[in-house]
Structure 1
Amino acid sequence: MKQVALEVAKFVHDHKGGRTVALYVGERSGFTDYFVITTVSSFGHLKGLVGQLYDLLDEYDLRPHRGRRRPVEEGWVLLDCGPIVVHLMTSELREFYDLERLWFGSDVLFDGGSDPEEG
């Protein structure tokens, strides 16, 4: 599943996700093994990325536990696929919730940096 988490992280990074990271949280979490976190630039970006991400997850036979849902304008979509949880967030919400700080000390599998063109 580690390789799939890396593929998901690279995918969202390549699709203009900002500051994309993939963390191994399995030793600290009772509900998942990997977090993929990225920043979206707008609601349109969020909607488009979610749609494309569903197709990628299908390729790996991963299904979000709550099914496919359309993004709402709250600015945060969480796709809980069991062993991998994907967080797509606006910069404001990402800064406020600071998930990387909450999971500080987790192994970083992928770090796309601040610019989607890097990494």
Structure 2
Amino acid sequence: MSARLRQMIEVMLEDGKAENVAVVDLTGKTTIADHMIIASGRSQRHVASLADHVIERLKKAGVVALGIEGRRQGDWVLLDIGDVIVHLFRPEVREFYNLEKMWAVPLPEQVTH
């Protein structure tokens, strides 16, 4: 189920125009989740909108987020979906916290529009 859930969320983020989506396989590294998805939004409003989009689509699929943090501020939103943790950042905040480095994951190539 966690791989299917991860794929669903990736599609939702793509639909919402999330940028630089990275997936971290946490299997065997921690017990908090099987996958972590990290993505960027262009602004606070875009980050909050991405979070709302994922939450709403998951609800329609019968999946309820266990926890949601930071949605009002829109700098860094964390969605706990059980086996999948989603981090949504503004680019500057993502660069500052650099979760990819902490989990030793290569950064996705920057896409310029």
TM range (shorter): 0.7 to 0.9
The range that moved more, 32-41 or 18-27, is 18-27
Matches within 5 A, 1:1-119: 1-66=2-67, 71-73=71-73, 75-104=75-104, 113-115=109-111
Q: CA separation in 2, counterparts of 1:61 and 1:49?
A: 18
Structure 2: 5+ residue stretches without partners? none
Q: Which amino acid aligns with 1:82?
A: G
Distance (Å, rounded) in 2 between the aligned partners of 1:97 and 1:52: 24
Relative to the length of structure 1, the TM-score reads 0.79
- Which runs of no fewer than 5 residues in structure 1 stay unpaired? none
Identity across the alignment (%):
22
Q: Relative to structure 1, is the Cα distance of residues 25 and 69 closer, same or farther in structure 2, using a 3 angstrom cutoff?
A: closer
Q: Which consecutive aligned stretches of 4+ in structure 1 deviate over 2 angstroms post-superposition?
A: 59-62, 111-117
CA distance in structure 2 between the partners assigned to 1:42 and 1:33 by the alignment: 28
- Aligned residue pairs total 112
* Greater relative contact order (Cα < 8 A, sep 6+): 1
Change in Cα spacing, 1:16 to 1:114, as seen in structure 2 (3 Å) is farther
Judge which range, 40-49 or 75-84, deviates more: 40-49
The AA in structure 1 aligned to 2:31 is G
The one-letter code matched in structure 2 to 1:32 is A
Partner SS, residue 88 of structure 1: strand
CA–CA separation in structure 1 for the residues paired with 2:24 and 2:14: 14
Q: d(CA) in 1 for partners of 2:93 and 2:26?
A: 21
What is the TM-score with the length of structure 2 in the denominator?
A: 0.82
